[in-house]
Structure 1
Amino acid sequence: MTAAQLKEKIIAYSKDIGIDKIGFTSADPFLSLKDRLLEQQRLQYQSGFEENDIEKRTTPKKLVPEAKTIISIALAYPSKMKNPPKSRKGERRGVFCRASWGEDYHRVLKNRLQKLEAYIQELVPEAKCQSMVDTGELADRAVAERAGIGWSGKNCAIITPEFGSYVYLGEMITTVSIPADTPVTEQCGTCNKCVDACPTGALVQGGQLDSNKCIAYLTQTKDFLPKRYRKKLGNRLYGCDTCQQVCPENKGVDSHRHEEFEPDPELVKPKLMPLLELSNKEFKQKYGRLAGSWRGKKPIQRNAVIALGHFKAEESIELLSRLLTNDPRPVIRGTAAWSLGQMNTADTQKLLEQAKQSETDEKVLEEIDDALLPFPLH
């Protein structure tokens, strides 16, 4: 079998197992990416979730010494849900980003890649393969860009001609030699909508992201959220879709190709108050299959507390007061103080004063003092 015939067989099989797009590139080093990552490090723009070793991120042969080819795959996910529940006064809701609407995509893509590995090893028994999704050493976007899946947009997402940027990415390094595809040329042109729309200015310029300012990153942190970002968080519980929603390439794009990615509306647009009453066990049972649950319930609950303050949801005053005085987690107590301060009523001021008498944590006391100011710090 020639390398071209092998490639055709792999492409045909990928369609059979539900891979929406597949591309191939060499296992050569990613030299321009290396320069970019070094610059990211110098500017301290990285989130801390990435692989620290830049050599591993940019040199595939560090991972598989005899590597010849990298196969990139993409699976499309929906941008709209049927019958989304409304967030109403007295019954406020939060929202998970679209990338966390269905079953955790890491599991789904790994399943597809495992099937692809087994098929390649059937055709080429001596083949070695190593797959990864998102949390691996290689940069998914750099691989997808070079493999012709799409171009790297100014919103730092891969934009495909067929599915816009609403795609999950994964890749496989293999020792099999397969002809490479042609990269897709950048097509953002003069459009700057995503950069202009970013709520926190995290898109420093087209294609460069300061992760520490990115709401998608901030929703996953476990500590106190810096005050300057709390109002900008809105009712987001996990992730942020703003830079995708404003992208002209995503206009009218809504792919419902995989049952696993279909959202449960009540799960991904949940009522905020019940979410704050969940135990660890209940949270895992309810949200464990979502990608957005990977950091546990604390960041999600902290974000839910912020959302109640954002809505000035006075129906939540009693619940927030309970969290302020009884929750064992200082981050939740302090954030509850901030939310009560946003409502700034006589009742909330009284509750904050009372909580101050028994609070011992310095950071929480600082949050209470800020919330008690005539005009709470935003």
Structure 2
Amino acid sequence: MTYDNLKQEVIEYSREIGIDKIGFASADVFSTLKERLKIQASLGYQSGFEKGSIEERTEPERLLPEAKSIISIAMAYPSRMKNAPRGTRKERRGIFCRASWGKDYHHILRERLEKLSQFLKDKNPDVLTRIMVDTGELSDRAVAERAGIGFSGKNCSIITPEFGSYVYLGEMITNIPFPPDQPVEDSCGDCHICVDACPTGALVQGGQLNARRCIAFLTQTKDFLPDEFRGKIGNRLYGCDTCQQVCPKNKGKDVHLHPEMEPEPENVKPKLIPLLKLSNREFRERFGSMSGSWRGKKPIQRNAILALAHYKDKSAVNDLIAMMNEDPRPVIRGTAAWALGKIGGNKAEEAIKEAMQKETDMQVIQEMKKGLDLLKKS
């Protein structure tokens, strides 16, 4: 069997197992990406979540010495929710980004790639593979771009002709020298809507992201959120869709091909106040199957507090006072104090002053002072 024929069989099998797009790329060094990553590192634009060294992230042979090609896959996820619940003044809601709707995509794509790997090994026991989905060393986007899945847009997402940028990506390095596919032509043109719309200016320019300013990154951090971003989070609990929502290439793109990717409305748009009271077990039972749960409940609860402050939700005051006084986590106590100051009112002011008398953590005390300053301005 020729490699061309085997490639066609792999393509046909990928359709049978529910892969929406598949492409093939060489395992050559990603030279352009390597230089870009060096610049990103020198500017301090990396998130810190990246795995591996720059060399490991751009030289496939470091990950699989026998590497000859890389198979890239894409699976499309929904951009719209059926029966989406609406928040009200009495019951404010937060939102998880679309990439966290449904079952954790890492598991979904890994399962498909493992089936592809087994398919190849059944054809030839000498086949070697290495699978990655998002958390591996290689850049899913760089591989997908080279493999012709789509082009890399100014919003730093892979944009496909069929599904826009609403796709999950994964790849498999192999020792089979598959004929490579051709990259898709970049068609962003002069459009820079996403750059202009980014809430924090994280898109420094088209195709260049300062991950440290990206809301998708910020919502996953566990420390106090820097002051300049607290008013930008809105009601986002995990991730951010702004640069995808405004993209003209995504207009009208909404596919529902995989039942496991369909959102549970009450989980992806949850009521905010009940989130404050979740135990670890309750959090895992409710959100554990979603990719947005990977950092645990602390960032989600901190973001829920910030969302309540965003709405200036006075019905949350009692719960926030309780968190400020009783929660063992300084980040939560301090953020609750800041939120009380943002919401305002005599009760909030008295509670902050009283709590400050017994607080021992200096960072929390600093947040309490910020809360009192906000009260003075209100």
Q: Which residue of 1 aligns with 2:286?
A: 286
Superposed CA offset, 1:248-267 (max 9, x none) = 00000001000110000000
Q: Does the aligned pair in 2 maintain the 1:227–1:377 contact within 8 Å? A: no
**Number of the residue aligned with 2:87:** 87
- Distance between the aligned counterparts of 1:55 and 1:349, measured in 2? 53
The structural deviation recorded for 1:52 is 3.8
Match of 1:16 in 2: 16
Q: Paired residue for 1:245?
A: 245
1:2-38 per-position Cα deviation (integer Å, ceiling 9, x unaligned): 1111010000000000000000011100000000000
The one-letter code matched in structure 2 to 1:2 is T
Matches within 5 A, 1:100-115: 100-115=100-115
Correspondence 1:187 to 2:187: yes
What is the alpha-carbon distance in structure 1 between the residues aligned to residue 221 and residue 260 of structure 2? 27
SS at match of 2:73: strand
> Quick one: distance in 1 between partners of 2:123 and 2:148?
24
Partner residue, 1:128: 128
The one-letter amino acid paired with 1:302 is R
Work out the CA distance in 2 between the residues paired with 1:129 and 1:310: 48
Distance 1:369 1:25 in 2: 55
**1:317 alignment partner AA:** V
Question: Which amino acid in 2 is paired with 1:368?
Answer: M
- Whole-angstrom CA distance in 2 between matches of 1:120 and 1:288: 32
1-structure distance, mates of 2:369, 2:67 = 58
Identity %: 61
Structure 1: which 5+ residue stretches go unaligned?
none
Three-state SS of the structure 2 residue aligned to 1:216 is helix
Q: Provide, for residues 70-125 of structure 1, a one-character-per-residue CA deviation record: whole Å limited to 9, x for no partner.
A: 00000000000001100100100000000001000000000000000000111122
Write the distance in 1 (CA, Å) between the matches of 2:226 and 2:202: 14
Residues 223-302 of structure 1: pairs in structure 2 closer than 5 A? 223-302=223-302
The yes-or-no answer on 1:171 pairing with 2:171 is yes
TM-score (ref. length: structure 1) = 0.99
Distance 2:30 2:60 in 1: 8
What are the within-5 Å matches in structure 2 for residues 350-369 of structure 1? 350-369=350-369
**2:342–2:374 CA contact under 8 A, matched in 1:** no
2:216 aligns to what SS in structure 1? helix
Gap regions ≥5 residues in structure 2: none
Shift of 1:343: 1.4
Q: Which residue of 2 aligns with 1:39?
A: 39
Contact 2:66 2:175 in 1 (8 A): yes
Alpha-carbon contact 2:74-2:168 (below 8 Å) kept: yes
Equivalent residue, structure 2, for 1:64: 64
Amino acid across the alignment from 1:69: S
Superposition deviation, residue 348 in structure 1: 1.1
The superposition leaves residues 43-92 of structure 1 with CA deviations (integer Å, 9 ceiling, x where unpaired) of 01000000240111000011111111100000000000001100100100
Q: Secondary structure at the match of 2:110?
A: helix
| Residue matched to 1:318 | 318
| Corresponding residue for residue 141 of structure 2 | 141
Q: Deviations over 1:353-374 (max 9, x none)?
A: 1111111110111111111115
Q: Distance in 1 between matches of 2:275 and 2:51?
A: 32
Corresponding residue pairs, total? 378
Tell me the distance in 2 between the aligned counterparts of 1:37 and 1:51. Answer: 13
- Contact (CA 8 Å) 1:371, 1:377: kept in 2 or not? no
Aligned CA-pair RMSD: 1.1
Alignment-mate amino acid for residue 30 of structure 1: F
Q: Is the 8 A contact 2:341 2:374 kept in 1?
A: no
Q: CA deviation at 1:345?
A: 1.1
Q: Following TM superposition, where does structure 1 have runs of at least 4 consecutive aligned residues deviating by more than 2 angstroms?
A: 374-378
Q: Which residue of 2 aligns with 1:329?
A: 329
